[in-house]
A and B are shown apart, each in its own frame.
Chain A
Amino acid sequence: MIVEIITKGAELMPTLIPQEWDERTVIQLEDGTITLTFKDGRVSITQGDNPDAASIIRLAKKRLCDAIDGSTDFMTIWRELAEPSPTDRTTILKGSGAKLTALIDLLSRCYKSNKEFKKLLDDYKARLKA
């Protein structure tokens, strides 16, 4: 389900991913793993692991939703993913959280501007709470 939501967001979000990005980021969620593939100025999301991933990040689904809908201040997201200290590296298991941070930024913009995406995320998050 989170795959469909991020995929929808990726379709609707501003097209600001640089063309030269060619990298995979794996996100380990509570109940599985998804792979973000950045290529040709786009991002695609697939279920499952990827051995070629440059970065591996462990993240709770609610944390991801909070980051996108602004419940967690973006400064906190930046600190955890883009400026991690040796004491909080548990989130980033390999590589860097830079590209995920950028994706969260773009999905947040989409959340603010697109009612359809907002509803999808809000409904999903409500179900997580339940």
Chain B
Amino acid sequence: MAGEEKIFFKSETLPTFTERGFQPILERFCSVLDRHDLQPIDTLEGRSLKPLSEGVEKPFLKGFFKSYKMEKCEKITLCNCIMMDRILASAVIAIPQDNYELPMPVLEWSETENTISVLVDLIPMVDLVMREDYREKYLDPLEKYWLKYKDLPGIEPNRFAWARQMFSPYYLSGHIPKESKQNRKECLELIQNYLELWSNLWQKAEPVKDEGTRAYVKERRAHIRKIFRENDEGAKSMRQMVGKEIVDLILLCYF
């Protein structure tokens, strides 16, 4: 697979963990990301990202977190890691630049021996009640995927109100049993479809001309990033397991 070769060429520390029975989620992410010109970021806010990008090797966390520069985006981050030797966690999160109103993709995958947990959304950067045109342009294209996958067994509302308040009408989350081949296939398709759709929106995105809209989008995006950094329960626990420094760096990469 060409995508696989390209991403492996970029780094020797992109373990896929498929040899351990996990699904090829990294390959799915890379099949979309490889179409873009991504330039690795070495530092963010004055902090070196090398401890993450070169690979983390802790008793309860192994893998990598890589942030890249991408046109129209401040950063896009890809992660693939094993937590406690039994949860594969993989994610793509992008932060569009302040002068673009593109939604923010949050695509998270967690997998154990029996279950795949997914969270997929393109988080809107505006108030949808005030901007129905935004919903039509950026979010309604998700509807066909949302309708297709909303009845996957295990799909359920996200447990966290702080997260739901930011999500689009087309977010999906849940814990899907792995025993069915169809479930596994559809989980991979779901997350790839959302990423591909965002990638298509990205291609068409134009800078926002109206100063008021730009200022609003900038402020809203800053709030969303702050909310994620402050509330992520998994990050709170990981701080206790692998240390505050490394987890704060991960949050800096993502948000």
Contact = CB atoms under 8 A, between A and B. Distances in A.
Given A75-B175, A84-B233, A18 B87 contact: no
A93 interface: no
Contacts of A16: 59-60
Interface string B83-113: 1111100000000000000000000001011
B233 A98 contact: no
Contact of A99 (B87, B112, B240): B240
B86 A82 contact: no
B117 A96 contact: no
Interface residues of A, number: 27
Contact of A75 (B87, B233, B236, B241): B87
The dominant DSSP class at the B interface is: mixed
A18 B115 contact: no
Given A105-B60, A105-B86, A74 B238 contact: no
A99 to B, nearest CB: 6
A108 B240 CA distance: 20
Nearest to A88: B159
Contacts of A76: 115
Contacts of B83: 78
B114 interface: yes
B9 interface: no
A97 interface: yes
Contacts, number: 67
Given A18-B59, A105-B85, A105-B86, A75 B237 contact: no
Contacts of A96: 236-237, 240
B234 interface: yes
The dominant DSSP class at the A interface is: helix
A109 interface: yes
Interface residues on B, range: 20 to 34
Interface string B112-152: 11110100000000000000000000000000000000000
Given A99-B240, A105-B60, A74 B233 contact: no
Interface string B16-37: 0000000000000000000000
A24 B110 CA distance: 29
Contact of B60 (A85, A97, A102): A102
Contacts of B112: 73-75
A122 interface: no
Given A82-B238, A83-B234, 9 more contacts: A70-B113, A74-B86, A81-B237, A82-B234, A83-B237, A85-B233, A96-B237, A97-B237, A99-B241
7 contacts: A16-B60, A70-B113, A73-B112, A74-B86, A75-B112, A83-B234, A84-B233
